[in-house]
Amino acid sequence: MLILARKIDEKIKIGEDITLTIIEVRGDQVKIGVEAPKNIRVFRQEVFDAIQSENKAAVAPENESLDEISKLFKK
Protein backbone atom coordinates (compact mmCIF):
# COMPACT_ATOMS: atom_id res chain seq x y z
CA MET A 1 0.00 0.00 0.00
CA LEU A 2 1.27 3.42 -0.96
CA ILE A 3 0.71 6.02 1.77
CA LEU A 4 0.78 9.71 0.83
CA ALA A 5 0.43 12.85 2.91
CA ARG A 6 -1.52 15.68 1.27
CA LYS A 7 -2.87 19.05 2.36
CA ILE A 8 -6.12 20.76 1.40
CA ASP A 9 -6.33 21.46 -2.36
CA GLU A 10 -3.41 19.13 -3.11
CA LYS A 11 -3.99 16.36 -5.62
CA ILE A 12 -3.05 12.76 -6.27
CA LYS A 13 -2.99 11.37 -9.82
CA ILE A 14 -3.86 7.74 -10.57
CA GLY A 15 -2.79 6.94 -14.10
CA GLU A 16 -3.54 9.68 -16.61
CA ASP A 17 -7.30 9.89 -16.13
CA ILE A 18 -8.01 9.91 -12.39
CA THR A 19 -7.37 12.79 -10.01
CA LEU A 20 -8.06 12.81 -6.27
CA THR A 21 -8.24 16.22 -4.59
CA ILE A 22 -8.23 16.80 -0.84
CA ILE A 23 -11.21 19.11 -0.32
CA GLU A 24 -11.48 19.36 3.45
CA VAL A 25 -9.97 17.91 6.61
CA ARG A 26 -12.07 18.13 9.77
CA GLY A 27 -11.08 16.07 12.81
CA ASP A 28 -10.79 12.45 11.71
CA GLN A 29 -12.77 12.99 8.49
CA VAL A 30 -11.32 13.83 5.08
CA LYS A 31 -13.40 14.95 2.09
CA ILE A 32 -11.91 13.83 -1.21
CA GLY A 33 -12.97 14.92 -4.68
CA VAL A 34 -12.65 12.30 -7.40
CA GLU A 35 -12.32 13.21 -11.07
CA ALA A 36 -12.53 10.16 -13.30
CA PRO A 37 -13.92 9.22 -16.71
CA LYS A 38 -17.59 8.19 -16.70
CA ASN A 39 -16.65 4.60 -17.53
CA ILE A 40 -14.73 4.32 -14.23
CA ARG A 41 -17.14 3.52 -11.42
CA VAL A 42 -16.20 5.06 -8.06
CA PHE A 43 -17.74 3.79 -4.81
CA ARG A 44 -17.15 4.11 -1.09
CA GLN A 45 -15.93 0.72 0.19
CA GLU A 46 -19.09 0.01 2.21
CA VAL A 47 -21.29 0.72 -0.83
CA PHE A 48 -19.09 -1.48 -3.04
CA ASP A 49 -19.29 -4.31 -0.48
CA ALA A 50 -23.10 -4.02 -0.34
CA ILE A 51 -23.34 -4.13 -4.15
CA GLN A 52 -21.10 -7.21 -4.27
CA SER A 53 -23.20 -8.92 -1.61
CA GLU A 54 -26.45 -8.13 -3.45
CA ASN A 55 -25.00 -9.38 -6.74
CA LYS A 56 -23.91 -12.66 -5.16
CA ALA A 57 -27.33 -13.14 -3.58
CA ALA A 58 -29.06 -12.40 -6.89
CA VAL A 59 -27.21 -15.13 -8.79
CA ALA A 60 -27.24 -17.74 -6.02
CA PRO A 61 -29.86 -20.37 -6.78
CA GLU A 62 -32.40 -21.05 -4.09
CA ASN A 63 -32.52 -24.65 -2.91
CA GLU A 64 -36.27 -24.80 -3.47
CA SER A 65 -35.84 -23.83 -7.12
CA LEU A 66 -33.20 -26.50 -7.63
CA ASP A 67 -35.46 -29.10 -6.03
CA GLU A 68 -38.32 -28.16 -8.34
CA ILE A 69 -36.09 -28.34 -11.41
CA SER A 70 -34.68 -31.72 -10.41
CA LYS A 71 -38.24 -33.07 -9.96
CA LEU A 72 -39.05 -32.08 -13.54
CA PHE A 73 -36.13 -34.12 -14.85
CA LYS A 74 -37.05 -37.17 -12.77
CA LYS A 75 -40.51 -37.47 -14.37
**Those residues with Cβ within 8 angstroms of residue 51's Cβ, 6 or more apart along the chain or in another chain:** 43
User: Do 20 and 14 touch, CB atoms closer than 8 A?
Assistant: yes
pLDDT (tens place) for every residue of the chain, 75 residues total: 999 999 999 999 999 999 999 999 999 999 999 999 999 999 999 999 999 999 888 877 666 666 777 777 876
Return the pLDDT at 63.
62
Q: Tell me how long the chain is.
A: 75
